[in-house]
């Protein structure tokens, strides 16, 4: 199963593609899409992110996608900008009929490093080890690869176990 992970951002969106075969994870590709000069205006920048993701999909043909959830910035304008970038990226994924899972940064860090308080260098280092890379990827690409690894791990846990591990009140929602 081939996964694409995405760390969305208006200025820079990170992507990471991995293959998952049982317990074995293999690195396929990773990188960033830059939306360029803010003076181009928001629609043009969103178009660059959208086209960039489409190009990655056409190149690597992932079968599943996972994207990092957005935290609410103290600055509402930043939240809005990040939300729009995330919307354009998700549109690119679903326009290709990809199922899209969502994971919080906290959950990704817990899954990769073992603690939600992990630093960016710790995530980079663990992604490097888990994928047996000769050197650590950049922060945005590492975050995206981390989302893909987290999603692949999570998809392997049988439903019965996730239910058993869930906090008791989770069935009341």
- Known binding-site positions for Mg(2+): 7, 68, 140
Q: 123, 113 in Cβ contact below 8 A? A: yes
Question: Catalytic residue at 140?
Answer: yes
Q: Is 70 one of the binding residues for its own copies (CB under 8 A)?
A: yes
Matching residue, tokens 């990226």: 89
Helix (H) or strand (E) holding 92: helix 76-95
CA distance linking residue 33 with residue 16, whole number of Å:
11
* Per-residue binding letters, 102-141, with its own copies (x by CB under 8 A): x---------------------------------------
Residues 6+ apart with CB under 8 A from 152: 1, 3, 18, 20, 25
Residue of the chain from 81, 123, 131, 149 that contacts its own copies (CB under 8 A): 81
CA distance linking residue 59 with residue 41, whole number of Å:
28
Could you tell me which stretch among 19-27, 83-91, 123-131, 151-159 binds its own copies (CB under 8 A)? Answer: 83-91
Could you tell me which stretch among 20-28, 55-63, 96-104, 120-128 binds its own copies (CB under 8 A)? Answer: 96-104
CA distance linking residue 155 with residue 3, whole number of Å:
11
| Binding residues for its own copies (CB under 8 A) | 41-44, 46-47, 50-51, 54, 67, 70, 72-73, 76-77, 79-95, 99-100, 102
Known catalytic residues?
7, 68, 140
């Amino acid at each position: 199963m081939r996964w694409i992970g995405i760390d969305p951002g208006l200025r820079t969106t990170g992507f990471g593609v991995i293959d998952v075969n049982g317990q074995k994870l293999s690195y396929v590709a990773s990188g960033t899409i830059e939306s360029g000069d803010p003076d181009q205006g928001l629609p043009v920048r969103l178009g660059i992110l959208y086209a960039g993701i489409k190009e990655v999909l056409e190149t690597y043909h992932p079968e599943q996608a996972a994207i990092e959830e957005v935290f609410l910035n103290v600055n509402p304008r930043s939240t809005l900008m990040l939300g729009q970038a995330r919307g354009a990226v998700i549109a690119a994924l679903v326009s290709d009929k990809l199922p899209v899972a969502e994971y919080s940064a906290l959950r990704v860090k817990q899954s990769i490093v073992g603690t939600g308080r992990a630093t960016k260098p710790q995530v980079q280092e663990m992604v490097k080890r888990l994928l047996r890379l000769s050197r650590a990827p950049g922060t945005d690409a590492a975050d995206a690869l981390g989302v893909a690894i987290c999603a692949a791990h999570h998809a392997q846990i049988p439903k019965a176990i996730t239910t058993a591990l869930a906090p008791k009140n989770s069935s009341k929602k």
